[in-house]
Amino acid sequence: MNLLTVFLAITDAGLKSLATAIPIAIGSIGPGLAIGMMVGKAMDALGRNPEARPGIQTNMILGVAFAEAIAIYSLLVAIIIKFV
């Protein structure tokens, strides 16, 4: 199998699937790392100062929600690429 036949075997459907997977892969790395770091730091803070739980928990939940919104945007981009 030479390079020309491999190149000709690439179809529009295959490229569309690859273009759908890339935003999901890249768009989930950042929020995943951010959520992990936020929760880890919140657990450290709670271990040091358990009385500050309500404030720490509220801010952590807000941060996780904002980070998750970025992942949802990448999912939306992937859905648009897939169906348009």
27-84 folds as: F1FO ATP Synthase (1.20.20)
Nearest residue to 34 (alpha-carbon basis) of 69, 58, 74? 69
Report the amino acid identity of residue 80.
Answer: I
Ordered by start, the domain boundaries in the chain are: 27-84
Q: What is the pLDDT of residues 33-71, one digit of tens each?
A: 999 999 999 999 999 999 999 999 999 999 999 999 998
Report the amino acid identity of residue 24.
Answer: I
pLDDT-above-70 percentage for the chain: 89
Neighbouring residues of 15: CB distance < 8 A, sequence distance ≥ 6: none
